[in-house]
A = this chain, B = another copy of it.
Amino acid sequence: MHGEITPGAALTLRGIGGEFGVSMTPAREAVRRLAAEGALFLSSSGRVTTPELTNERIEELAALRALLEVELASRALPRAHMALIDRLQTINSNVAEMVSKRDAVGYIRTNLEFHRTLYLRAQAPAMLAMAETVWLQLGPTMRALYGRLRRTDPPQNHRLIIAALKAGDEPGLRLAVRSDVTQGLRLLAG
């Protein structure tokens, strides 16, 4: 999810097992679970790799993020009190720090933490789980994307999100979330 593995990387059950000090059996179960969520790709012969997404697939997953996360943000809005907004601002400064350090994995991790913190307030666990499934599918690709990105400016859309939360501005919030979610991925697909 955090982009620690590059797209198309090959994994082996014995390798995963060895890495975590267990046998093939638990490794297999974990791989099957992740494959069920689309986070790993199982070739017809059972070989395991991280997925290499086509542009169409990336656009589709971006549309899914927009659909799900706009709804989650919208549901979180009436429950977003000051304590939450403060936490979001703290996380956002961490995001900015990761951007300035050009730490791609750290950026993805803190960025997703920002979103998750907001969406947790939506009290919609199934919807949040689906959003996280999409993040999981995009993980390796996002890393490849932000790796080639030459940005050092802090995330502008996050500030728009926070402003909309403070103002209780639902249309503004929906727009800001949609922009934040789609903008980065449009670049790669383009």
Smallest Cβ distance from A47 to chain B, in angstroms? Answer: 16
* Complex alpha-carbon distance, A57 and B124, angstroms: 8
Smallest Cβ distance from A180 to chain B, in angstroms? Answer: 19
State whether the Cβ of A137 lies closer than 8 Å to any Cβ in chain B.
Answer: yes
* Neighbour of A64 across the interface among B28, B36, B37, B127, CB < 8 A: B127
Chain A residues close to B by CB (< 8 Å) = 25, 28-29, 32-38, 57, 60-61, 63-64, 67-68, 71, 124-127, 129-130, 133-134, 137
Across the A-B interface, the 8 shortest Cβ-Cβ residue pairs = A33-B36, A36-B36, A29-B32, A60-B126, A32-B33, A60-B124, A32-B32, A36-B37
Residues of B within 8 A of A57 (CB): 125-126
